[in-house]
């Protein structure tokens, strides 16, 4: 009998096994995936260098400036006003027109016509005329009576004078007759003057009822330019009735300009006449040079755009060596004014963006061997871009500019 080979036969429920190599690979795949996942997690959690920008600490000049918006203005401006009351003719000039002193006619003022009377005012004026007419008749009758009395007194005086015998008329009677005649003559003259006064009052009352046309011949007042220059502003152009002092126009020389800046009072105390000034954003590429001429002694209150009350001081500056392009500047043009209040030729300076405060102390991060090192410093003057360092840094050090919040002492950093 033949014995069957049981080594080659297997039960259906037995696990089929492949070669040994493939079996090991299949069993190691989950472990390899786990190791790879853990590597990714470790790589993601591993601290990476912070990308930063650095600036150099160097020695050089530093100028501290006070910057503020300013405006140009004509140094000497003249406001022409109406010298008399009347009807002003239309002003023919426009802003920018040239005028000459004593020659250019700005406008003319002529008398105004009499105003119209309302019914009540007319009735009152007519009543005044009637009253003065009655007073005139009364004065005339009084004058006739006084003249008659004068004739009687003169007749008595003449009769007494005709008596020549001594003792016929006493001296007292003679003096009384002479005095009575003189008194009657004075009363006649006074009555004549009263009659003239009433005549004038009657004429004045009648004139109030009339409305004569305005006569310009000989009454026209011409207003001429008091100085040479150009018209800056016309306050009243149309024809109108004006009163003395009414502003008509403004005249000045736009080539003679100065710079006006409203500086905060805390900054104005550091500014002195003669300080150097740079005028920027005037429309040209290069800044204009100037000098402070005056710092006004009184401040004024101004509300800022944020609604904060600020005390400001007007600082006036003169331009030096004005280039041809800057001559196009006119009155009230906006500029940027920078006044130099402190200067040193050789100081240790660092970019202002590298400094920050911790409490009351200034500190910075120094870039050293790929790490950020927190360093306390002592700072002094600054112009907003560069700051003077008194101690804590040396020339040649590199500092972090605007370090992010993730940077701390010893943090690994990398230059951008």
For residues 266 and 10, give the distance between their C-alpha atoms in angstroms, rounded to a whole number.
103
Start-to-end C-alpha separation, the chain: 90
Q: How many CB atoms lie within 10 A of CB 183?
A: 13
- pLDDT for the residue 100: 93
Beta strand 98-99 pairing with 221-224: unpaired
- pLDDT for the residue 176: 83
Residue 203, phi-psi category: left (phi > 0), alpha (psi -120 to 50), beta (remainder) = alpha
Beta-carbon contacts of residue 387 (< 8 Å; ≥ 6 apart) = 349, 350, 351, 352, 355, 379, 380, 381
pLDDT tens, residue by residue, 316-349: 999 998 888 888 898 899 999 999 999 999 999 9
pTM for the predicted model, two decimal places: 0.60
Of the ranges 39-48, 130-139, 348-357, the best mean pLDDT one: 348-357
For residues 98 and 103, give the distance between their C-alpha atoms in angstroms, rounded to a whole number.
11
For residues 367 and 351, give the distance between their C-alpha atoms in angstroms, rounded to a whole number.
14
pLDDT over threshold 50, residue 383? yes
pLDDT band at 365 (very low <50, low <70, confident <90, very high): very high
Q: What is the mean pLDDT of residues 290-306?
A: 93
Q: How many CB atoms lie within 10 A of CB 296?
A: 13
- pLDDT for the residue 68: 93
pLDDT over threshold 70, residue 106? yes
Percent share of the chain, pLDDT over 70: 90
Alpha helices, DSSP H, located in 10-58:
20-45
pLDDT band at 220 (very low <50, low <70, confident <90, very high): confident
Q: How many CB atoms lie within 10 A of CB 234?
A: 17
Mean pLDDT for all residues in the chain: 86
Higher-confidence residue of 359 and 312: namely 312
Q: What is the mean pLDDT of residues 140-144?
A: 88
């Amino acid at each position: 009998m033949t014995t069957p080979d049981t080594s080659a036969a297997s039960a259906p429920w037995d696990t089929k096994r492949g070669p040994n190599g493939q079996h090991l690979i299949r069993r190691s795949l989950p472990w390899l995936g786990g190791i790879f996942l853990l590597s990714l997690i470790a790589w993601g959690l591993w601290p990476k260098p912070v990308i930063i920008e650095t600036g150099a600490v160097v020695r050089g000049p530093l100028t501290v400036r006070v910057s503020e918006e300013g405006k140009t203005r004509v140094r000497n401006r003249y406001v022409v006003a109406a010298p008399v009351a009347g009807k002003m003719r239309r002003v023919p000039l426009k802003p920018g027109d040239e005028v000459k002193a004593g020659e250019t006619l700005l406008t003319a003022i002529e008398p105004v016509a009499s105003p119209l009377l309302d019914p009540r005012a007319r009735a009152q004026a007519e009543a005044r005329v009637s009253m003065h007419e009655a007073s005139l008749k009364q004065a005339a009758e009084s004058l006739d009576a006084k003249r008659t009395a004068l004739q009687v007194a003169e007749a008595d005086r003449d009769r007494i004078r005709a008596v020549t015998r001594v003792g016929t008329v006493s001296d007292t009677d003679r003096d009384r007759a002479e005095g009575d005649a003189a008194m009657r003559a004075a009363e006649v003259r006074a009555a004549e003057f009263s009659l003239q006064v009433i005549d004038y009052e009657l004429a004045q009352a009648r004139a109030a009822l009339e409305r004569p046309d305005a006569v310009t011949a000989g009454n026209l007042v011409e207003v001429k330019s008091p100085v040479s220059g150009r018209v800056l502003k016309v306050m009243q152009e149309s024809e109108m009735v004006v009163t003395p002092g009414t502003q008509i126009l403004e005249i000045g020389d736009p080539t003679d300009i100065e710079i006006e800046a409203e500086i905060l009072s805390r900054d104005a105390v550091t500014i002195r006449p003669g300080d150097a000034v740079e005028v920027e954003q005037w429309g040209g590429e290069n800044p204009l040079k100037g000098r402070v001429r005056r710092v006004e002694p009184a401040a004024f209150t101004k509300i800022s755009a944020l609604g904060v009350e600020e005390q400001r001081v007007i600082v006036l500056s003169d331009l030096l060596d004005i280039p041809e392009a800057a001559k196009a500047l006119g009155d009230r043009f906006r500029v940027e004014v920078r006044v130099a209040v402190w200067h040193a030729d050789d100081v240790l300076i660092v970019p202002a963006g590298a400094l920050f405060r911790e409490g009351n102390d200034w500190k910075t991060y120094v870039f050293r061997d790929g790490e950020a090192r927190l360093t306390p410093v002592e700072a002094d003057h600054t112009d907003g871009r560069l700051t003077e360092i008194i101690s804590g840094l040396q020339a040649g050090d590199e500092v972090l500019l605007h370090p992010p919040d993730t940077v701390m002492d010893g943090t690994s950093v990398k230059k951008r």
